[in-house]
Chains A and B, each alone.
Chain A
Amino acid sequence: MELTSVHFTEELVALRQRIADLEASEAKRQRIEAELRSRAYQQAMIAKLGQYALAGAKLESLLDEITVLVTLTLKVDYCQILELLPDQDLLRLRAGSGWPSELIGHATLKADPNSHLGFTLFSSTPVIIEDLRTDPRFNESPQLYNHKVTSGVSVIIDGEQWPFGVLSVHTTQKRLFTQDDIHFLQAVANILASTAEHRRTQLALKEANDKLEQRVEERTADLQAVNEELRNFAYIVSHDLRAPLVNIKGFAGELDFSLKALTDTLHRLRPHLSRDEQTELTHILDEDVPEALDFINTSVNRMNNLINAILKLSRLGRRELLHESIAMNTLIQDTLASLAHQIEQSQTTVTLGPLPDVIADHTSMEQIMGNLLSNAVKYLDPSRPGQIDIQGEANAKKITFRITDNGRGIAQADMSKIFEIFRRAGKQDVPGEGMGLAYVRTLVRRHGGQIHCESEIDVGSTFIFTLAQEPIEEAPPHV
């Protein structure tokens, strides 16, 4: 019985031991399972945050999301994201859970390396605190003690140029954070860092773009104002300059009338005058006065022509353009037909490449091509048969035309003045008012294009001009 009892006792002890072992291993298994579950959960959270960040969520809502998720995942009392402000000496509470809401976005604390949060900014590894009150490394602001902060982990949210800030969690009860917890927090901080850096770059880029756009807009507005002013100026000048001319010309005519009447009267009186007086009278009436009137008239006519030219230029600048599809080959054929006589006389060969169609103002195109082609014909070198070549090509942005001749060419020194009003280059042996290329340039510019000339004296010239593919919508000019 005793033996049995002993046996029983031993068996009982052994059994108990086995139960205890089983319980222990069960507890261990459960702990490992819990750890695994927790790790899996943390990894799922990381994945979720990563996706959220990648989906382009607003930084503000991403920060809020992070603090909530971290709080739930790590089962902590506080989670906060502190942003390092630009002057780098303050940390601002950008998002947080567990903190009074009025602190979020406002509360700041010094980025002091003696505080654990400030220290984190200089630490490449997570900063782990068991008990903030007793930790000899740090000297904290009493604020944190008021909130009963005891244990915590904080990690840096790094950035390309300077850190974005600090991510940290705290508990009011003493807690030992596991490696998994710390890795989790570090992973979240990394997601945050790359997102913040991305946002920072985007913002900088957008700011630069906005500034550039604003400057372009300002410049464009300035240019438009100047253009408008010039157009109106030309219009007003040509209007107002004409009024006195009407008087000069008109009263010169009146003088002429008077002179004729006077001449008739004096003619009857002539026999009563001395020979010298007669000679003098004849000289005055037949030469001096008509000569003076002639000079007045010639000058007025010249002035009138100049004013007309300015007026025409200002009208070309103000006229409303009607954009339509134009078959350039047809337009050029028509222009050449009107120059047929001169082309034949100068034994000129004209070659015409396939030209792209354009969307432009028809009258403008006629004037541009008319001027350029008639110039090409007008300024050929009479010592050799003329050759004129017209080519064109289009790309996505612009259409380019080239008109090449083997004419007399333009001297380099004259190149800059040929597009200016009243300026003519080279020998002045061909009639012209010196306005053709000024008109052409005005019209080309109104079509969003540019014109320039390449030339060699005695070899020939090429005029190259472009038109914008998209017709420019200009505000209709007003007078």
Chain B
Amino acid sequence: MSDTQPVTILLVEDDPGHARLIEKNLRRANITNTIKWVEDGQKAIDYLFKNGEYANSEHGNPLLVLLDLNLPVLDGYQVLARMKNDAHIKRIPVIMLTTTDDNQEITRCYDLGCNVYITKPVHYHQFSDAIRKIGLFLSVVRIPNGV
């Protein structure tokens, strides 16, 4: 990834430790995009739809949203549903992150239109693998933009 790429990754994660680990591993996977971190679902919606504290912000749409499932205010499902209801926002790829591999949860996320679902594993190397997969995914989604 080059520094000239202006796009950001929106990370929606209420646990600061998880947010930090995700960021560290994205960096370790050579992903250099700006990472915008918000800690609840409402802030994620505000950022994406330029409401509330982001009403006057001029940021562009993020390249990717990393979305935790268990969030305060609005949970991951609600954020995902809101995103997929908007004609423009729905094009942004969403990667769901959660602590469990519950089939019902996974199905529900895919039904709502998430692109990838990643379980936050406790095993560190698995976690890194998962994050690296996101890196791989990022290089794939970058191509249509021709950047």
Using a CB–CB distance below 8 Å, which chain A residues touch chain B? 238-239, 242-247, 249-254, 256, 300-301, 304, 311, 315
Give the distance to chain A from B11, nearest Cβ to Cβ, in Å: 15
Contacts A246-B21, A254-B24; A304 near B122 (Cβ below 8 A): yes
Contacts A245-B122, A246-B122, A301-B122; A251 near B15 (Cβ below 8 A): no
Contacts A251-B21, A254-B21; A243 near B99 (Cβ below 8 A): yes
CB-CB < 8 A to B120: which residues of A?
Answer: 242, 246
B117-131 interface code vs A (CB 8 A; 1 in, 0 out): 000111111010000
Extra A-B contacts (19), CB below 8 Å, given A247-B21, A249-B127:
A239-B100, A242-B99, A242-B100, A242-B122, A245-B122, A246-B18, A246-B99, A246-B122, A246-B127, A249-B124, A250-B17, A250-B18, A251-B17, A252-B124, A254-B21, A254-B24, A301-B123, A311-B100, A315-B102
CB-CB < 8 A to A254: which residues of B?
Answer: 21, 24
CB-CB < 8 A to B121: which residues of A?
Answer: 246
Give the distance to chain A from B33, nearest Cβ to Cβ, in Å: 21
Tally A-B pairs: CB < 8 A.
51
Give the distance to chain B from A180, nearest Cβ to Cβ, in Å: 82
B61 on the interface (CB 8 Å rule)? no
Interface of B is mostly: loop
Give the distance to chain B from A447, nearest Cβ to Cβ, in Å: 21
Kindly identify which residue among A244, A253, A315 contacts B124, using a CB–CB cutoff of 8 Å.
A253
B32 on the interface (CB 8 Å rule)? no
**Can you name 13 A-B residue pairings with CB atoms under 8 Å?**
A238-B100, A239-B99, A243-B99, A245-B122, A246-B18, A246-B99, A247-B18, A249-B124, A250-B21, A251-B17, A253-B127, A301-B123, A315-B102
Kindly identify which residue among B17, B102, B123, B125 contacts A247, using a CB–CB cutoff of 8 Å.
B17
- Asked if A243 and B18 sit within 8 Å, CB to CB, the answer is yes
The CA of A246 and the CA of B120, in the complex, are separated in Å by 7
B70 on the interface (CB 8 Å rule)? yes
- Asked if B127 and A250 sit within 8 Å, CB to CB, the answer is yes
B20-57 interface code vs A (CB 8 A; 1 in, 0 out): 01001000000000000000000000000000000000
Kindly identify which residue among B70, B123, B127 contacts A239, using a CB–CB cutoff of 8 Å.
B70
Q: Which of B61-104 contact A (CB under 8 A)?
A: 70, 99-100, 102
The CA of A311 and the CA of B102, in the complex, are separated in Å by 9
- Asked if B122 and A300 sit within 8 Å, CB to CB, the answer is yes
